Structure 1
């Protein structure tokens, strides 16, 4: 028909890897929770892999053995998010903390003695845990960690929507300063100490020794 305009559907965002792309897709739900509720940047995982969180913007991540991380939880503020991924614990710290870590370990005289202590900062990313389930009282926090599925990441202390995460994260500027931000130096020293103890114990007792974890 002369003058008619063909109806062309508007372009749609391609589905996430491993998902359908619909509003009920758990991958889309997870991405929306992080990006819209928390304001955290995400990137798709590889085909068949989960969504990933971008580090170095709102926060950096210290990746440590779960036993060492459990010993350091007392140095975190009540709003500091913590995730578990298999036998590893991921502690969120202030952006820039990953770049400070090598010099901080040298200053604390740990140097290369703690290879199990890793950090992700600028241009890095980590697996995004699923949206945490709320307890009966409506809180999104968990007293005990859930059981990960084949080492998948889960929140031990999930972030709280509507809260600025930066104020709760360990930072180097907390040393000798004011405010309620946790001290990154104490956190790193505690984690490094326990990483070293774990290595010594394993070297003496062998890899078959497994210690139970206690979270606080």
Structure 2
């Protein structure tokens, strides 16, 4: 009479593993993943990036950034375009991940962030609480998806991702279009930084007043 069948002596084979996804497969925002985006900024524009993902652009070397509410930024661009005496084609982006709503970031010449407090004081905006900040040396900003990498999007509010309103143009000297302070005049037709800051401050103040008027009165 046969006895019980002994258990197998060979080890159990591991279950087949699902192939790992490549770290930088095509992103939902367009054809390029992180390495493609980083390569575009570093190779096509010569802009340094910060290691890691998502791709971030180092500020303070090739450009600084002025950060304002999107409403104030759009109003500023309209005013500058309507009264343009110089080029107003400097790069501008929108960022939708702020708790305070959509933000606009305007690229300006490197070193402008250090000049901002003095400019605001000179223009007599220093005593007012403006939602206008600068990002300069030692900081970074999220890299918007390059225009050639993006898929067409439906019209609607910005959903988190950073996007270019006015993208930088590969192969061009982008820095020559950035707003700057210069006693000899702005090189390359770039708009004057003081005029830009004054217009931004005016529109930020108007946005603040509209928000204050829209708030319901508090009764004790």
Q: Shared fold by TM > 0.5? A: yes
Residues 178 and 157 of structure 1, relative CA distance in 2, 3 Å threshold: closer
The number of aligned residues is 179
Stretch of structure 1 that moved more, 107-116 or 180-189: 107-116
The structure with the larger Rg is 2
Query: CA deviation digits over 1:73-124, x for unaligned, max 9?
Result: 2537353111001211000000000000000000000004243101100001
1:59 is matched with which residue: 60, 63, 85?
Answer: 63
1:26 is matched with 33
TM-score by length of 1: 0.73
Unmatched 5+ residue regions in structure 2? 1-20, 82-86, 97-101
TM-score by length of 2: 0.72
Unmatched 5+ residue regions in structure 1? 1-17, 136-141, 208-216
What is the Cα-based RMSD across aligned positions, in Å?
2.9
Report 1:66-145 matches (<5 A): 66-73=70-77, 74-75=79-80, 77-86=87-96, 87-133=102-148
2:193 is matched with 184
Q: Per-residue deviation at 1:72? A: 1.9
Q: Per-residue deviation at 1:146? A: 6.7
Residues 164 and 178 of structure 1, relative CA distance in 2, 3 Å threshold: closer
For 1:64 and 1:38, locate their aligned partners in 2 and report how far apart those are by CA, in whole Å. 24
Query: CA deviation digits over 1:118-151, x for unaligned, max 9?
Result: 110000100001111389xxxxxx9x99757632
